[in-house]
Structure 1
């Protein structure tokens, strides 16, 4: 039996084919080609029927004439009136016979490339007026936004980074709350009586405390502290991380942002502007060590002494965004990380290099800091920063 120029032997011949890649993909190729012939002969062959025929060929093989015939007839023929056309096409394609009065015309396939957008309803785009319907239409869809979500910041162009910065403005930051010492009015009986409100209510009834009031503990959001490495090794990711910090400052309460390099710089006020471009420009102007060296141990020491241990980091979620390259001594970084870990609620380290295949924290700074980290995650793409936003809200 011959199929489109391919010679096939019967099962009884006992000839075994080598398991080459071409042989493995042969059922798909033959099923697609035979389905095109049937469409050209006038049969309606859907993609679902082609997939069923391909699966049948995988199970039965393409060596037996009867197996292939009945597999195609059971899966590709939708009406008894199409059997005669199917038989003629089968004889031409699989058995190599001359066509007897059957003209096969393969309809052209028009390809429509549709880009997904925010207002895309999923409906097919309307056809151009004046163009006749030339046959089945294969519509290929892709989403440029979905592609950018997973693209490394270091590989993005300026235009793509601008689009990603716009997406970061749509991130939602949910604050983690903690119990406060401040009491609020309780709806049920608790262990904390509200004497002030109880006495005030008793004055309305002649001094009789007919109804007692109670207090319950209030909850307030935990502080979020972002420490962003802006050294030279972090240049491909620094601006995206600062844009992420701006989205957090304007989209969440109790957020503090700092840059770390050769010195510590507080940029919370600069990033509090609702205009992201103005906030990024103000932050860039205030940071004097942008794309400079890295002294993680010294800058963390300054942060712990001035801001962290005394209040900003106590009970807070602290996020350090750095690749771990440090020109200082690992012992100092390890000591300051241990101090910071003692007072924080959770300490998260974001490393843009973590997604690299075969990555291992071999840098001296990263190896010294990792034992004191509660969570170690990636930070190279928009998708990873979405994961970070979810992690700090957990």
Structure 2
């Protein structure tokens, strides 16, 4: 099986709605190279590396069957059941009034609105007109980022009979039984929300996307705690306080007023150096999920970029790179900054549309399988857990 055949299968899976990051694709090709490329081996290699849930397996089986037979398959045949519409809150009836009739909105109207939403979900941010951008901005504001958790160093009383002994509670309760510690009390580690750090490239090459990506950063900051946001051009600017307001337009204006180099040049390596020196290695990025929204174009030294990404990877739990150009046909990460950073990236996804941001939210809201940056590294010494 040649690489074109494998890429064809992966593209069909992505079209069907499966999230297949570059790391999974590399793992798939490596597994095929080890196990073999006969149809049975190919099936199990793909199922082991490209699926993450029973629903994914169901979609994978459908797509794989049609791919082997060489038959055309429609999108509705790829997925099980009807597609799920994007759920958004409607602000038009906040006073609690209900329509006079349950049939006030016709079936045709509902289908039309669903179809428009689905169309907007897949449209490139660079191709939106003013009306479409207004609607997409509204949908971005409705995106929700659920908190993933990590184990804290703090401990709390547990009902379990095994674990770290809670000597204070055990001794206290032994006083009721004549000093005999009949009931053993234990402690367990608490779980706290994992911090998310978003670094958005606002240089000239990202002008078509930076506005929507900053709005996504606002949605993340306003939806939950433990989210930090930065803008990165020729310098690094912290935007968490500016984005911490409910009004998206006000947040965007406050961010624009704070950033002095909007739509200017790009110095990714220098910006990451400042982040590592002033915030990242001092605690902000430790155990956090770091999201970099950038096309990877950098005027700086690629060696500095590689060095700072290596530093960041030593403290971050996971690094997600969101590149709007990745959705382009024939794209390859050949930009100097992107090529230098890729060995230290866990998830490399596109960020050109509402659907891609929705997929990013799904990645950030799931614990995943832990860091997988070793799949991108070309040398073992480049990998830092």
In which range does the TM-score fall when normalised by the shorter chain?
Answer: 0.5 to 0.7
Structure 2 unmatched runs, 5+: 1-85, 91-101, 367-385
| Cα 1:125–1:350 shift into 2, 3 Å | closer
Which stretches in structure 1 are left out of the alignment for 5+ residues? 1-115, 127-138
- Aligned residue in 1 for 2:215: 243
Residues 311-361 of structure 1 deviation map (CA, whole Å, 9 limit, x = unaligned): 111111101000111111111111111111121111111000110111111
CA distance in 2, matches of 1:141, 1:328: 46
Say if 1:190 and 1:216, in contact at 8 Å, map to a contact too: no
Deviation at 1:191, TM superposition (A): 2.6
1:101-112 correspondence runs (5 A): none
TM-score, structure 2 as length reference? 0.65
1:324 aligns with 2:291: no
Alignment correspondent of 2:365: 393
Render the CA deviation track for 1:233-279: whole Å, top value 9, x for unaligned: 11111110011011111112211111111111111111111222221
Partner residue in 1 for 2:40: none
Work out which of the residue numbers 120, 139, 157 in structure 2 matches 1:167. 139
Residue aligning to 2:240: 268
SS of alignment partner, residue 143 of structure 1: helix
Q: 1:140: how far off?
A: 8.2
Aligned CA distance change for structure 1 residues 142 and 307 (closer, same or farther; 3 Å): closer
Alignment of 1:1-394 (within 5 A): 123-124=106-107, 143-203=115-175, 209-394=181-366
Q: Distance in 1 between matches of 2:199 and 2:283?
A: 15
Deviation at 1:203, TM superposition (A): 4.9
How many angstroms apart in 1 are the aligned matches of 2:189 and 2:348? 33
CA contact (8 A) 1:350 1:378 kept: yes
Residue-by-residue CA offset, 1:162-220 (whole Å, 9 max, x unaligned): 21121112212122211111111211112312122334444566655453321111111
Question: Which stretch shows the higher mean deviation, 192-201 or 354-363?
Answer: 192-201
Instruction: Identify if the C-alpha distance between structure 1 residues 243 and 218 changes in structure 2 by more than 3 Å, giving closer, same or farther.
Output: same
Deviations 1:24-69 (A, max 9, x none): xxxxxxxxxxxxxxxxxxxxxxxxxxxxxxxxxxxxxxxxxxxxxx
- Aligned counterparts of 1:370 and 1:141: Cα–Cα separation in 2: 39
Separation in 2 of the partners of 1:354 and 1:390?
18
C-alpha distance in 1, partners of 2:106/2:234? 54
Aligned to 1:35: none
Higher RCO by CA contacts (8 Å cutoff, separation 6 or greater): 2
Alignment root-mean-square deviation, CA = 2.4
Partner residue, 1:73: none
Structure label with greater radius of gyration: 1
TM-score scaled by structure 1?
Answer: 0.63
Residues 187 and 117 of structure 1: CA distance in aligned 2, closer, same or farther (over 3 Å): closer
Q: How many pairs are equivalent?
A: 267
Greater share of helix: 2
CA shift for structure 1 position 393: 2.0
Change (3 A) 1:206 1:262: same
